[in-house]
């Protein structure tokens, strides 16, 4: 079972965790990541641009890849778009599995691919003006660890 | 050049209009000045690379957007692609900077 949403509205991490399951008795671990807007260097706001359709299909492809790699029971991903201010939630990745190793690993795997392949772009707004965030080499390096045999 | 699974190359030979839907995101959109358009490139345009050359001639905004191709990514029909990817009639081609979500 997986759910992928791209939306302007905020989300409730607690509600997402509850929906990851557990009541059926087979889930032993739920690992989640919640990303927030950091107010670094006088950041006023961050506006997320995205490619509707392709975002969902890219994320779905990596969720499918995660299911083939680890014994997962559920995955929920929420990514917000539009204008967000410091402290606001941007992204949620939640993974349920029987054991923690699979849940932790799949959560990191999905986050790494979300950052390097899902078509979202951040525009930072500061007193001095607006700038598009540049892709980070560290993010490309993070995703490479999943590509070695 | 990869084979077109939908056999769209036959449309090229019959000479019907080759509409290509273009989408631009982030600073690429700001430079070209539009988010979406439909163009009819000449029949010789069968790859992303040739499409970029065609677009570059359309004005300074396009020239600026495609000045350094190392900074531009492309998707054909919503899949990450390279400059050598095939482009056929009715394809959707998007140009954008490296992604920065998450």
Domains contained in chain B, number = 1
Q: Which residues of A touch B102 (CB under 8 A)?
A: 35, 79, 90-91, 111, 114-115, 118, 120, 139
Q: Are B91 and B45 in contact (CB under 8 A)?
A: no
Q: Is residue B2 part of a domain?
A: no
Q: Is residue B101 part of a domain?
A: no
Interacting residues of B81 by C-beta distance below 8 A, sequence separation 6+: B48, B74, B75
Q: Which residues of A touch B29 (CB under 8 A)?
A: 49
Q: Which residues of B touch A136 (CB under 8 A)?
A: 100
Instruction: Find the CATH number of the domain harbouring B49.
Output: 3.10.20.30
Contact A134 B98 (CB under 8 A): yes
Q: Is residue B7 part of a domain?
A: no
- Domains of chain A in start order, with CATH, are 2-144 (3.90.1170.40)
The CA distance from B77 to B37, in Å, is 15
| pLDDT tens digit sequence for B7-46 | 444 444 445 568 999 999 999 999 999 999 999 999 999 9
Kindly list the residues of chain A whose beta carbon comes within 8 Å of any beta carbon in chain B: 35, 48-51, 53-55, 57-58, 79, 90-91, 111, 114-123, 132-136, 139
C-alpha triplet A92, A93, A97: angle, nearest 5°: 145
Q: Are A132 and B24 in contact (CB under 8 A)?
A: no
The CA distance from A103 to A71, in Å, is 9
Q: What is the pLDDT of residue B13?
A: 46
Q: Is residue B66 part of a domain?
A: yes
Segment A45-71 mean pLDDT: 98
Residue-number span of the structural domain to which B64 is assigned:
17-96
- B1 pLDDT above the threshold of 50: no
A127: tokens are 């007193």
Q: Which residues of A touch B97 (CB under 8 A)?
A: 121, 132, 134-135
What would the DSSP string read from start to end of A52-81? TTHHHHHHHHHHHHHHHHS-EEEEEEEEE-
List the alpha helices (DSSP H) in B1-102: 9-14, 26-32, 48-56, 60-65
| pLDDT tens digit sequence for B41-73 | 999 999 999 999 999 999 999 999 999 999 999
Contact A114 B94 (CB under 8 A): no
Contact A49 B26 (CB under 8 A): yes
Among residues A34, A41, A25, the alpha carbon closest in space to that of A98 is found at A25
| pLDDT tens digit sequence for A32-42 | 999 999 998 89
**ipTM score for this prediction:** 0.92
Q: Is residue B91 part of a domain?
A: yes
| pLDDT tens digit sequence for B77-97 | 999 999 999 999 999 999 999
Q: Is residue B42 part of a domain?
A: yes
Q: Is residue B88 part of a domain?
A: yes
The CA distance from B102 to B96, in Å, is 17
Q: Is residue B24 part of a domain?
A: yes
Q: Does any CB of chain A come closer than 8 Å to the CB of residue B35?
A: no
């Amino acid at each position: 079972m997986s759910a992928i949403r791209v939306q302007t509205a905020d989300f409730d991490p607690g509600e997402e965790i509850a929906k990851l399951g557990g009541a059926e008795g087979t889930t032993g671990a739920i690992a989640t990541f919640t990303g927030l807007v950091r107010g670094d260097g006088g950041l006023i706001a961050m506006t997320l641009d995205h490619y509707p359709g392709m975002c969902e299909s890219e994320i779905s492809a990596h969720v499918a890849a995660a299911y083939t790699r680890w014994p997962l029971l559920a995955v929920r991903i929420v990514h917000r778009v539009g204008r967000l201010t410091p402290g606001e939630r941007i992204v949620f990745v939640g993974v349920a599995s029987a054991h923690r190793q699979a849940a932790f690993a799949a959560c990191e795997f999905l986050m790494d691919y979300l950052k390097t392949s899902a078509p979202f772009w951040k525009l930072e707004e500061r007193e001095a003006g607006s700038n598009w965030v540049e892709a980070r080499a560290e993010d490309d390096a993070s995703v490479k660890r999943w590509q070695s045999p | 050049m990869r084979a077109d699974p939908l056999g769209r190359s036959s449309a090229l030979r019959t000479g019907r209009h080759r509409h290509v839907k273009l989408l631009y995101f982030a600073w690429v959109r700001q430079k070209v000045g539009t988010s979406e358009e439909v163009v009819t490139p000449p029949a010789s345009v069968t790859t992303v690379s040739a499409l970029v050359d065609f677009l570059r001639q359309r004005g300074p905004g396009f020239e600026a957007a495609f000045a350094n191709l190392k900074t531009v990514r492309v998707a054909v029909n919503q899949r990450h692609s390279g400059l050598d990817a095939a482009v056929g009639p009715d394809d959707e081609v998007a140009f954008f900077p490296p992604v920065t979500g998450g």
